[in-house]
Each structure stands twice: as C-alpha cells, then as structure tokens.
Structure 1
Amino acid sequence: MSSPDPSRPQIQRILVVGAGAMGSQIAMVFALAGHDVTLQDVIESGLTRAGAQLADRMGAAVAKGRMSQACAEEALGRLSFSTDLDQAASTADFVIEAATEKLEIKQQIFAALDRAVPAHAILATNSSTYGSSKVASVTSRPERVCNVHFFNPALVMKCVEVVRHPQTSQETIDVVMELVRTIGKQPVLLNQEVPGFVANRLMGVLRDEALNLYSSGVASIEDIDAAAKTALGHPMGPFELMDLVGLDVNCMIAQATYEETGDPADLPHPIMQKMYESGRLGRKSGMGWYNYETTR
C-alpha cells in the first residue's frame, strides 16, 4: 500500500452545509469514517431534528447488530452542529453543500464559504442537477470546486458522482476521489458537466417511460414496478423510487434540467407534475403513487 502524498492536501475536518435528509446523512457517513464533522444550517430546529434522527439511525443499526454501541457513540461524538457558517467554515478542509436545489441560494453559500474557509479547502456541491461551474464562478478558487453527488439514502447508497468543470484541477479530483473511497463509497468520475449527470439521466429515461406506460393505460403502477424488480433486478420499481425520493424533488430536478437544456422533453411529466401540485409527494406526505398512511 502506497504512502499518502505529503504534498497533497490532507482532509481531516469536514463541513456539511444543509441539515436536511441528505446533508445530515452525508455528515454521518464522514463521521462513521473517522472524520470530525460539523453540520451547519441556518435553522436551529433543523439541526436539532437532524441530530435526533441520526441518533435514532445509529441506535437502530446497533439494535440490528450492524455496528457496536461503542462505534455508534464514537461516530456521533465526532459530529458537531452550528448555525454559524463563518465559524464552522474557518477550520474546514473539505466542504460539501447540500442546501435546497436553487442556484441563487447555492451561489450565496459558495460566495460566503470562499471568504471563510482556509486557502487549501476544497468546496463541493451535492447538487444533482447544477454543474459546479455555476457556483465556482462566485469564488476565487474555481480550481478547488467540483460536484460530489451522493444518493439518497446516503448512509446506504454506495455511488458518489464526482463531476469536474473546466477549471477543476487534477489535484482536486485526485483528492476527492481518494476521499470518497476512504469513506467506503464508489466514486464515478464525470470529465465534463452534463445535466443530470449519469445516474439521474439513466433513471430519468426509466421514470419517464414508466409514466408513459401508466398514463397510456398499458399497465398498472404495481405491475410496472413488479417488472422492474423481477425482470430487471432493480431493488425497487420506478414508482416506488419516485415516492422514496419525493415527487417534489423529482419535479424540481426535471425543471432544473429543462432550465439547463431548454428541451421541453426535460420538463416534468404532466402526470407527475399533477401529483406534485396536489400535495401527493410520496412517503414524506403519506401519499404518492402508493398510500403510506396505513404504515404510519
């Protein structure tokens, strides 16, 4: 096993911006891998909720025999929570932003981070739709900016898409790829920015065809999902996956992709848009393509 390159930046302290479902789980992934992690959010109650949910997740993992109580306690002990972005960023070696999928908000965060983090720090966005060039442009370190896109649920899913933009340095890519491997994930490198990256582009084709088949009356939701699982070997069907991710998130991703491409084919599918507007968001609302009220 080769020794670490002493000239390469060493990643020790991690900052995750955004304490939603993705941000909090990403923070836990790094803590479980031995990093000191700060989870930052502007809303104190969001941090409190994230801390409680992560403690519950670790407790469940211990109860199922997936880790020891000592391991869970050590990982939780590496987590800290803050509403102060400047203070949290001041000692970070690596920052990953997991805020809402709105470009203007992300740009505000990256401009603030650029002023607050040390000169060597790498800034990453977890965005699934916006290439990092869109946020690198508001910083003084575009060579140290890239996408590092985790998948939901981040504690479980192995894939992490690493996307470079034209100014991302090779050193940054090397450091990030190594970091992703050390936390037990499988990095997938994209050498150019494309809307939706790899996985969401593949998933979008399957999702839209499933919606077309259903809306045309070819097959039921249940049978389309069954075909995906029993014929294609997918762990869940496209409708189950939409419910898990959230119809709101699916529509937001499709809308953001359309804004990037200008192709009307990338707009949210009409039937999915109608579901979203009706408030049927999937598991999070209790109703989506399936009814989850009875399981609550």
Structure 2
Amino acid sequence: MTGTAAIRRVGVVGGGQMGAGIAEVCARAGLDTVVCEADATAARAARERVAVSLERAVQRGKLDRISAEDALARLAFTGSLDDLADRQLVIEAVTENADVKTETFTALDKIVADPEAILATNTSSLPVMRLGMATARADRVVGLHFFNPVPVLPLVEVVSSLHSSQAALKAVEVLARDTLGKTVIRSRDRAGFVVNALLVPYLLSAIRMAESGFATAVDVDAGMELGCAHPMGPLKLADLIGLDTVAAIAEALYDEFKEPFYAPPPLLMRMVQAGLLGRKTGRGFHTYDRDC
C-alpha cells in the first residue's frame, strides 16, 4: 500500500521550470521518475531543461559527473499521461490555472491504476480540495508545494485538504524529508498556504511602490537587500517567481480573503498581459539574459 510502503515510482506532470526541478530532485534521490509533457516536442525540451540543470550542478561542484549521469538515466520523458499508469505518486506541476489543473486531476484519476496511489499538486495558491473533488480518491490528493529553484531551496509545504488522509500526508512527508532531503512544514488548505500568504503581500507592496513612482525598481530592491539583509529584493524575487505566477497567487488570495492588500496592482496585470513575466521571458521589473 502506498500509504505505508516506500514510494519509488514517481510521475511529474509538467516539465517547465518547476516540474523539471521536481523531476531532477526525485531522480537525484534515486527514484524512478517519469515526466509527462503536453507532447513529444515539449517532453524533449523538458529533458534538455533537466540535463542543463544537472550539468550546471556538476560545473559548480555540487554534483559529481557519475551521479548526474545516473540521475538522467532514471528519468523518462513522455507526451502521454497513460505512461503514468504504474506510478505510486504523481506530482502535478502544470500552469497555475484552476481549469487546467482540475482537468489534469480528472484524467490522472482514471489513468493511475493503483487506487491507493497519491496524486499531489504543486499549486502555489489553488484549493487542494477543488482538485481532490475532481477525482474519486480525494483522500489520496494532497498539496506538495516545492519552491523555485527546486534543486536549491530546501523547503516543501505539505498541504492537507479536509479529505486528505493522514496516511497519504505521512507518505509524502516521509518522501520529501527522508528521500529528497527537504525540510517539511505542514499547512491547512488556505490560499497561499504558509509562505505565499506572507510573501505575496510584501511583493505586491513593492510593486505598488514602483508603480506609484515612490522609488525605482533598482532602489526598492537595493533597500531591502542592503537595509534588511534580504538575499534578493522583492522585485527581483517577483521576476524569479514569474509575474504571471505572482498575479495568479494574488488573485487567489484576494478571491479567498477579500483583503485589499492581496489585490494585484494594475501594473502587475499590465505586465502579464504584455508578456513581461520576469526572468523566464528576459524582462520584468529588470532585464535578464535569457540564458541566465
């Protein structure tokens, strides 16, 4: 039973920045990992994303060459959800869109054969309950929220809905802590969970400050880095997260709590509409080399 047996076979749906990072840490930890993307072309791009990250870790002395090659060998990439049928745990890491995520969980529920397999979401803000209710196994649906970049940041939030079983929660906690080497914190199923419920209002305040002309983006970031010893200023951090993701989390927080400080500022929404999403597009509040 997955709730008590060690999880060895993992699936990841989505091979973007977050999905590729989750797949990488799973493979580096010795897990048999299958990554599913929208099609074969996207699957090849996901494989390249992981390969580049592993090579970067080797070049920086964080990983030896043999371990990197072994990790890549444990990874399979596919364009079909059907290839996840034998997984003990599937982690959804698709775009932060409620309809897309719900459709993904409905499909996975029909495909993943073991009724006790766990379906986890890496959502930053959406209700785990909603995704669980899209399946016939809501007790086996949990939140497993990693942070970007996944191979570097040590935290995972384990999120329980009203239906999540203690066995499922314990299984993913053990996996994250003992197999992946992460620090685990628990959260109830509320928009933003622990970290983003605290972080996003801070980021939005920084955006409003830049929007009003009170201070430039450079000065806002320098103020928090040099005046508060933050390793990264709020606007650089928003760019790293992705401004579309920041906006989606803000909207989810505002929908749930109706507090004005959660509402996404107009400037943020205009930047998202313009495709200025931060590091991943080369331009947000700052400008970036796309290869950085």
- Structure-2 change in CA distance of 1:141 and 1:249 (3 Å): same
The alignment covers a number of residue pairs equal to: 290
CA–CA separation in structure 2 for the residues paired with 1:58 and 1:36: 17
3-state SS of paired residue (1:14): strand
CA–CA separation in structure 2 for the residues paired with 1:14 and 1:120: 14
CA positional deviation for 1:143: 1.1
Q: Give yes or no for the alignment of 1:277 onto 2:273.
A: yes
The alignment-based identity, stated in percent, is: 38
CA-based RMSD of the aligned residues comes to 2.1
3-state SS of paired residue (1:81): strand
Residue in structure 1 matched with residue 138 of structure 2 by the alignment: 142
More displaced stretch, 90-99 vs 111-120: 111-120
TM-score, normalisation: structure 1: 0.91
- Structure-2 change in CA distance of 1:141 and 1:251 (3 Å): same
- Structure-2 change in CA distance of 1:210 and 1:37 (3 Å): same
Give, as a single letter, the amino acid of the residue that structure 1 aligns with 2:182. K
CA–CA separation in structure 2 for the residues paired with 1:105 and 1:199: 23
Residue in structure 2 matched with residue 96 of structure 1 by the alignment: 91
Residue in structure 2 matched with residue 214 of structure 1 by the alignment: 210
More displaced stretch, 160-169 vs 244-253: 244-253
Residue in structure 2 matched with residue 29 of structure 1 by the alignment: 25
CA positional deviation for 1:77: 0.4
CA positional deviation for 1:262: 4.5
CA positional deviation for 1:76: 0.4
CA–CA separation in structure 2 for the residues paired with 1:126 and 1:6: 19
Match runs of 1:74-93 below 5 Å: 74-86=70-82, 88-93=83-88
CA–CA separation in structure 2 for the residues paired with 1:102 and 1:221: 28
5+ long unaligned stretches in structure 1: none
Deviation digits for residues 187-240 of structure 1, max 9, x if unmatched? 1101x2111111111111211221233334433222221122123222110010
Give, as a single letter, the amino acid of the residue that structure 1 aligns with 2:183. Q
More displaced stretch, 218-227 vs 157-166: 218-227
Deviation digits for residues 15-57 of structure 1, max 9, x if unmatched? 0011111111101110000100000012211111111121122
CA–CA separation in structure 2 for the residues paired with 1:70 and 1:152: 25
CA–CA separation in structure 2 for the residues paired with 1:224 and 1:196: 24
Residue in structure 2 matched with residue 11 of structure 1 by the alignment: 7
Q: Give yes or no for the alignment of 1:115 onto 2:110.
A: yes
CA–CA separation in structure 1 for the residues paired with 2:90 and 2:289: 37
Q: Give yes or no for the alignment of 1:173 onto 2:165.
A: no
5+ long unaligned stretches in structure 2: none
CA–CA separation in structure 2 for the residues paired with 1:102 and 1:6: 28
CA–CA separation in structure 2 for the residues paired with 1:113 and 1:6: 16
CA positional deviation for 1:6: 10
CA positional deviation for 1:257: 2.8
Give, as a single letter, the amino acid of the residue that structure 2 aligns with 1:288. G
CA–CA separation in structure 1 for the residues paired with 2:272 and 2:159: 29
Residue in structure 1 matched with residue 228 of structure 2 by the alignment: 232
Is contact 1:10-1:93 (8 Å) kept?
no
CA–CA separation in structure 2 for the residues paired with 1:7 and 1:290: 45
